[in-house]
Amino acid sequence: MSTKPRFSDENCLWRFREKLLAIDEELKVQDVESLKFLCIGFISQNKLEKSSSALDLFDHLMERELLSVKEPFFLAELLYTIKQNRLLHHLGYTKKQVESLLPTQRKLSLFRKLLFELSEGIGEENLKEIIFLLGDNIPKTPMTSLSLLDYLEKKTEIDEDNLIVLERAFQKVLPCLIKKIENYKREKAAQEATPPVDKETESLHQGEEGIFSPSDIKQFYGTLPEVPWQNEHSRNHGRNIEPPNMMVSTKGFCLFFFKETSMYRMDRKHRGHCVIINNHRFTSLYDRPGTHKDAESLQLVFEWLGFTTHRHDDVTKGVMDKILQEYKSHPGHADGDCFVFCILTHGEFGAVYSSDGVLIPIREITHHFTAYQCPGLAQKPKLFFIQACQGTEIQSSVFIEADAQNCEQLSLQDSVPNEADFLLGLATVPGYVSFRHIKNGSWYIQSLCKHLKKLVPREEDILSILTAVNDDVSQKMCRDGTRRQIPQPAFTLRKKIVFPVPQLLL
């Protein structure tokens, strides 16, 4: 009997273990703790407690036949859940492939996924407050958000049908997490209402994807209400916009779905230019100490991402006009992937101040870079980040200042040109101030830089990163505990913006 197949199998297993070893080497201690938490219910508690590395977990998963050369998807699901998407290639997957397979192959329960997402949203200060509210029910030992949730689950204080303890605590400390629980309840109810999948359907999931014919699609469209696939530009010119590409499929539980948005191109000769307007001193307004920290952070991060940065300090209205004209017609845009414009200054809603006290509407700045005004950036993403108040000034403590002047209500949408490929990231929502530490910089810009450094290597797109920034900034508060801030993005992007992972990490 030939031993060749056995030798081949051993080779495959050897290479597979080499890949698992490579994954283990790139995981940090916190990642291993996250994996252990997600594996509750799949690996015995005794084995989980004794596991000190990812390799231990991989061994246990292979023993339980949850991980193998032929079936590596569960580990891919785990890595995707902890946002280690850059490691998926070791298993032969991309982030998009995992997302497409999750509806039919996921193993993690909605409850386990919810608890992990909640743990990510609990900061150190919030954790202390939650433990304080729970009082004597919690042991007086150091805890992380994951270990707290694990403890509550072990003590049956929470389970998939009972989250009252968490809801009460979040209502006081982190109201933003209540929405996650509400979404979980809706998903759980929908899942329970879905009939079990029979064997015939299962075989279809595992086989070829079935696509309806064009006539089937046309008939399906006939059952839907009419949708005017137009935008303001197309109506003004009497032209209809083609509807999004639709594919009708029998794969999974969906009858139809839109094709996943593609990504903007990021492989030209030059990543692009990043302009930073940093206003510290003003002729008629108070100074902005701490803004240089923001400017330095932005320079460091965007240079790391491959941009050529241009910093301008204390910019008057006249100088601003010259800068806008220069970059509106910059020849370097032709070879660039993207354009970034950052403004650190005082502001009102929909407008920012120059260093000589002139109020400049944000729309006046962004409109310089429309396809008509700036053909070199046509169909390329244009990102604007504004650190300035959008509302009334608030008296604050000595270490925290507000970047506000008087507020005149304008339309946020007016700040974004009525054409594609723009992103406007505002430090705060309409009517409210944004905060800046006089030494450490602003909450928004520092969080933006921190999450770019953290999530770009994980291949997260810019909107996912800004969502993480929103969550981070919303949890911060001033010393008196009464003032908070939530950023707000507005965009007309057509595709995902995913920056290539830099070779050197910051």
343: Cβ–Cβ under 8 A, 6 or more apart, which residues? 277, 352, 365, 384, 385, 386, 387, 388
Q: Which of 389, 407, 449, 451 is catalytic?
A: 389
Helix then strand count (H, E) for the chain reads: 19, 14
State both tokens at 143.
């805890």
DSSP helix/strand/coil, 441: strand
Cα distances from 69 to residues 36, 42, 74, 85, in angstroms, run 21, 18, 12, 19
In degrees and rounded to multiples of 5, residue 420 shows phi and psi of -75, 165
Burial 98-132 (b: 16+ CB within 10 A, else e): beebbeeebebebbbbbbbebbbbbbeebbebbbe
Contact 173, 126 (CB under 8 A): yes
Amino acid at site 465: I
The DSSP result for 235-289, as a single string, is: HHTT-PPPPPPEEEB-STT-SEEEPPP-B----SSEEEEEEEEE----SSS---T
- Give the long-range contacts of residues 279-283, CB within 8 A, separation 24 or more: 279/313, 279/314, 279/315, 279/344, 279/345, 279/346, 279/353, 279/354, 279/355, 280/313, 280/314, 281/314, 281/355, 282/314, 282/346, 282/353, 282/355, 282/356, 282/357, 283/355, 283/356, 283/357
Question: Residue 435, Cα to own-chain centre: how many angstroms?
Answer: 22
> How is the beta sheet containing 359-361 ordered, strand by strand?
347-348, 351-353, 359-361
Contact criterion met (CB below 8 Å) for 115 and 41: no
Largest CA distance in the chain: 91
- Rounded Cα distance between 178 and 167, Å, is 6
Specify the 3-state DSSP secondary structure of 313. Answer: strand
Q: Is 233 a catalytic residue?
A: no
Task: Please give the structure tokens belonging to residue 121.
Answer: 């949203």
Q: Pairing state of beta strands 422-426 and 359-361?
A: unpaired
Tell me the C-alpha to C-alpha distance, in Å, between residue 94 and each of 13, 101, 453: 21, 11, 21
| DSSP structure string for 107-138 | -S-HHHHHHHHHHHT--HHHHHHHHHHHGGGS
Catalytic residue among 60, 330, 346, 367: 346
Residue recorded with tokens 């504004």: 386
CA–CA dist 419, 203 (Å, integer): 45
The answer to whether residue 437 is catalytic is no
Q: Which residues are catalytic?
A: 346, 389
